Chains A and B, each alone.
With several copies, the nearest count.
Chain A
Amino acid sequence: MHKYIHDLRVVNKKRINPDYYILELTYSDTLADMFPGQFVEIKVENAPNTFLRRPISIYDVDYDNNILKLLIQIVGEGTNILSYVEPYDYVNLVYPLGNSFSMPENNRILLVGGGCGMAPLLYTAHYFSDFGYTPSILIGAKNNLGIIEPEEFEKYGELHICTEDGSDGTEGYVTQHKLFESPELFDKVYVCGPEPMMKAVAKWTVKHNIHCEVSLENLMACGIGACLCCVQETVNGNLCVCTEGPVFNVKDLLW
């Protein structure tokens, strides 16, 4: 797959709440093909202490309007300064990067997203839905501020919500959700979120012999397989999350 370095124009910035915002970006030419689970490396301009690019998942692509969406959580300087871009500003991306979630074979699929990990799952649901699948989607967060654009997820599948404080959906961790009482409903589970959550889901899938793919986050310097900083230990040795991931089959991980 060809990778690009492009300046994309900000079409819209949606401030969801103090912690989250969505950037809608467009390119002067037709956007490249992108697959669910892939990410971009975004350059943060005018940030005194942000030296490297920041990896951000593809939240959604609207090919009809030639728009790429990113969902970003403010956690430090880079994601904060980036939140000040305005329509007509340009941001520089290296993209699309990484591998992607595998295609489902049937409708017996579950997408589980926790916190900012829900970002890649919207495009995954969207993409799968374009191929005629209707995934079950479970998104969880600390509280309702972390449940971003549920109406978007609802377009593409059957949405379930849970929050740790019960402020939206059912109360508790995602793995406490009733979906996890019915392993027989699923052939494939796709997960992205905090590591403990992914590990818990992975454990459950292993126990019930369900195919499970997780999207990992880690510290990246280049995003294109050149620096070897982003390694994940696997049964096949140290692999780069940026090129051989971010999506891994849990059976390849040493979890």
Chain B
Amino acid sequence: MVNLEIDFNGLILRNPVLTASGTFGYGEEFKDFVNLNALGGFIVKGTTLNPRQGNPYPRMAETPKGMLNAVGLQNKGIDEFCNSIYPRIKVYNKNIIVNVSGSNIDEYVECAARINELETIPAIELNISCPNVKQGGMAFGTSCPSAKQVVKEVRKVYKKHLMVKLSPNVTDIVAIAQAVEEEGADSVSLINTLLGMAIDINTQKPKLSTITGGLSGPAIKPVALRMVWQVSKAVKIPICGLGGIMNAGDAIEFMLAGASCVQIGTANFINPSVTTEIINGIYEYCSSKGISDINDIIGKI
């Protein structure tokens, strides 16, 4: 028997495998492929105070071992979430985490306050790293003062587990992680997408309507892993690691680097039942190596 349970700063995960915001819909899109309740948890779509239509098409481009997206936080807004989505999905897993975004601090705060009221949502993931919106988003996550400020204000109204999602598009991710830790974040998740671009040489036009977009997938894994390792050496709060995880081996790399749990993003698009395979693979890795508790490998490097 291998213990896969993680105490993620108070959030009890039955195993370290969650799914990444924006890549797993509201969970229900995957119910034909995954036993949702068997996941460590899942993080739903980026949610904002007001409904957003997102960016114009085209929003996607395939890149070497990765993809660019420029969805731009299309979502139906917090009211619709609370009133109709939440009641529908809350049965699926006890760790449904809402990814919260905003154009300004008030929006973040109001959205977080609303989610604080939702009984079975144990945590939010504060997205201060979305590269695909004109205002807010990544702007908050790329400087220490602004990151501190948004976390500080949200912390005042949000009483449950506050995870802050960091942007990799910075010189010093450690400083940002320390800044949000100081303001009372319960954990950090990293990384969000790298800002990238692709051009169609035939039409001589950018492949995305927004010109630049967020790069995800295996291509970014080495960068993500490095950042998780750096941050893990510098903060006390636990880390949720993500970026390009495609299989159990990748997930284990993140845990060895210092992540206490992981999120699976783009891989869900290619294999909608990949999360189940990753959970099983982690179990097999541990048992074949004689590791009786997954907690023993966290940060071994």
On A, residues with C-beta under 8 Å from B are 2-5, 43, 49-53, 94, 218-233, 237-238
Chain A residue contacts of B69, Cβ below 8 A: 221, 227, 229
Chain B residue contacts of A224, Cβ below 8 A: 25, 29-30, 272
Structural contact, B57 and A232, CB atoms closer than 8 A:
yes
Chain B residue contacts of A232, Cβ below 8 A: 57
Structural contact, A52 and B24, CB atoms closer than 8 A:
no
Structural contact, B64 and A228, CB atoms closer than 8 A:
no
Q: Say yes or no: is B196 at the interface (Cβ < 8 Å to chain A).
A: no
Structural contact, A43 and B59, CB atoms closer than 8 A:
no
Given contacts A52-B67, A224-B272, is CB(A5)–CB(B33) below 8 Å? Answer: yes
Structural contact, B67 and A225, CB atoms closer than 8 A:
no
Given contacts A49-B64, A52-B269, A219-B58, is CB(A226)–CB(B74) below 8 Å? Answer: no
Structural contact, A228 and B74, CB atoms closer than 8 A:
yes
Q: Say yes or no: is B206 at the interface (Cβ < 8 Å to chain A).
A: no
Q: Say yes or no: is B238 at the interface (Cβ < 8 Å to chain A).
A: no
Of B57, B74, B268, most buried by chain A (CB within 10 Å of CB) is: B57
Q: Which of B24, B32, B60 contacts A229 (CB 8 A)?
A: B60
Structural contact, B25 and A5, CB atoms closer than 8 A:
no
Chain A residue contacts of B217, Cβ below 8 A: 51
Interchain nearest-CB distance for A166 vs B (Å)? 28
Q: Say yes or no: is B300 at the interface (Cβ < 8 Å to chain A).
A: no
Interchain nearest-CB distance for B250 vs A (Å)? 12
Q: Which of B24, B53, B56, B65 contacts A226 (CB 8 A)?
A: B24
Q: Which of B25, B56, B270 contacts A51 (CB 8 A)?
A: B270
A32 to B39, CA, bound (A): 27
Contacts A5-B271, A229-B59 supplied; 17 other A-B pairs, CB < 8 Å = A43-B270, A51-B65, A51-B270, A52-B269, A94-B33, A94-B272, A219-B61, A221-B60, A221-B69, A222-B268, A222-B269, A223-B269, A224-B25, A225-B25, A226-B25, A226-B30, A233-B56
Chain B residue contacts of A49, Cβ below 8 A: 62, 64
Structural contact, A229 and B270, CB atoms closer than 8 A:
no
Q: Say yes or no: is B145 at the interface (Cβ < 8 Å to chain A).
A: no
Structural contact, A229 and B71, CB atoms closer than 8 A:
yes
Interchain nearest-CB distance for B186 vs A (Å)? 27
A238 to B269, CA, bound (A): 20
Given contacts A94-B272, A227-B71, is CB(A3)–CB(B32) below 8 Å? Answer: yes
Interchain nearest-CB distance for B42 vs A (Å)? 11
20 CB < 8 A contacts A-B: A5-B33, A5-B273, A50-B62, A51-B63, A52-B269, A53-B270, A218-B57, A219-B57, A219-B60, A221-B69, A223-B269, A224-B30, A224-B272, A226-B23, A226-B25, A226-B268, A227-B60, A227-B71, A228-B71, A231-B74
Q: Say yes or no: is B54 at the interface (Cβ < 8 Å to chain A).
A: yes
8 A Cβ contacts from B266-299 to A: 266, 268-273
Of B45, B59, B65, B67, most buried by chain A (CB within 10 Å of CB) is: B59
Interchain nearest-CB distance for A82 vs B (Å)? 15
User: DSSP class of A's interface residues: helix, strand, loop or mixed?
Assistant: loop
A220 to B69, CA, bound (A): 11
Structural contact, B71 and A52, CB atoms closer than 8 A:
no
A221 to B59, CA, bound (A): 10
Chain A residue contacts of B30, Cβ below 8 A: 224, 226
A228 to B70, CA, bound (A): 10
Chain B residue contacts of A225, Cβ below 8 A: 25, 29
Structural contact, A3 and B33, CB atoms closer than 8 A:
yes
Q: Which of A5, A221, A238 contacts B74 (CB 8 A)?
A: A238
Chain B residue contacts of A2, Cβ below 8 A: 32
Chain A residue contacts of B25, Cβ below 8 A: 224-226
A221 to B63, CA, bound (A): 12
Interface string of B193-220 (1 = CB under 8 A from A): 0000000000000000000000001000
Interchain nearest-CB distance for B142 vs A (Å)? 24
Q: Say yes or no: is B66 at the interface (Cβ < 8 Å to chain A).
A: yes
A152 to B13, CA, bound (A): 54
Structural contact, B32 and A228, CB atoms closer than 8 A:
no
Chain A residue contacts of B64, Cβ below 8 A: 49, 51
A82 to B233, CA, bound (A): 41
Chain A residue contacts of B273, Cβ below 8 A: 5
Chain A residue contacts of B62, Cβ below 8 A: 49-52
Chain A residue contacts of B56, Cβ below 8 A: 233
8 A Cβ contacts from B252-273 to A: 266, 268-273
Structural contact, A51 and B66, CB atoms closer than 8 A:
yes
Closest to A237 in B: B53
Interchain nearest-CB distance for A222 vs B (Å)? 4
A5 to B270, CA, bound (A): 11
A52 to B69, CA, bound (A): 13
Q: Say yes or no: is B22 at the interface (Cβ < 8 Å to chain A).
A: yes
A231 to B272, CA, bound (A): 20
Given contacts A53-B269, A226-B25, is CB(A221)–CB(B53) below 8 Å? Answer: no
Closest to A243 in B: B29
